Amino acid sequence: MIRVKKIAHASYEMPDVEKQIEYYTEILGLTLTERDKDAAYLASTVDHHSVVLRNGAQARCTRIGFQIGQDDDLGEFERQVQGHGIKTQRKNDTEPTIRQMVTFEDPKGTVMEVFKRDDFSGQRFPTKGIVPHKLGHVAFHVTDVKNVTKYYCDVLGFRVSDWMGDFFSFLRCGPDHHTINLMETGSNRHFHTAFELRDWGHMQTACDYLSVNGYKLLWGPGRHGIGHNLFAYHRAPNGLITELFAELDRMNEDLGYFEPRPWHRDRPQKPKVWEKDPSASNLWGILPGEEMMK
């Protein structure tokens, strides 16, 4: 099967796009690469955009872009999706630097935009703001975690990295422990969007920078059990939660275990079902407040 190889971008709607552009450029440190009457495009390095902002009545994540490989055939991928009884659309030149994409909906109504990256956009890392390495993952609340997890694996080629009990799945499409994670809570909506930082030092700088600019942390810093990443969460101006993370587990696909780290409890650390235990969410012990679930 043709599997998607990486998350390329996430698209959001919100009432006040200007405020969110200011947050992404001044605070997070992404570059505004293009602006048209429909959308604002933001990115950090070789991709033209990793975040797309559009006007809408309420803040929500509407679409996620995934890249397939240079040698993969988009038509073959489309037939593979249709083979699951899913209706697809082929779109040309709807987003800058993406000539052709196949779009279809996942079971919770988020639009998947799958494409081959033809043109790289060689902007540099900015020098102002937090400046993450990349968009790392998008997490969702879902009503039916089993169904949506199966969809991402069967249709897009994701692999399960871990489960927490039977209600929270962590899925990868490359070496990173998770690119999509799904938590069953009774509604279908965005949970958080995560950007990768360099290391613990970068995390400290980022938390201080957020604080100086009036952003308070919702939870963290801490170290997750599942994925073992350092984390710190805050709320963006549009009300959606941003996670900053570092040191996320990376899978050696050929050997079937995550690269060993001193903070692992399993040797080797392999995909598994974690018990619903506080250490699965924070090895350092401090649990999230109610604000995280809003």
Contact pattern from residue 185 through residue 224 relative to Fe ion, giving x for each residue in contact according to CB under 5 A and a dash for the rest:
---------x------------------------------
Query: Are 65 and 7 in contact, with CB atoms under 8 Å apart?
Result: yes
Neighbours of 115 (CB within 10 A): 24
Peptide bond preceding 126: is omega within 30 degrees of 0, i.e. cis? no
Nearest distance from residue 178's CB to Fe ion, in Å? 7
Choices 100-108, 155-163, 238-246, 263-271; region in contact with Fe ion by CB under 5 A: 238-246
User: How would you classify the pairing of strands 230-235 and 241-246?
Assistant: antiparallel
Q: Which residues pair with 169 in a beta bridge?
A: 163, 182
Peptide bond preceding 221: is omega within 30 degrees of 0, i.e. cis? yes
243 lies in the binding site for Fe ion (CB under 5 A): yes
Nearer to Fe ion, 112 or 138 (CB): 138
Nearer to Fe ion, 215 or 219 (CB): 219
With CB under 5 A, what is the number of residues at the site for Fe ion?
A: 2
Nearest distance from residue 192's CB to Fe ion, in Å? 6
Peptide bond preceding 107: is omega within 30 degrees of 0, i.e. cis? no
Nearer to Fe ion, 21 or 244 (CB): 244
CA distance 158 to 170: 10
Nearer to Fe ion, 23 or 195 (CB): 195
Nearest distance from residue 152's CB to Fe ion, in Å? 16
Q: Which stretches of the chain bind Fe ion, using CB under 5 A? A: 194, 243
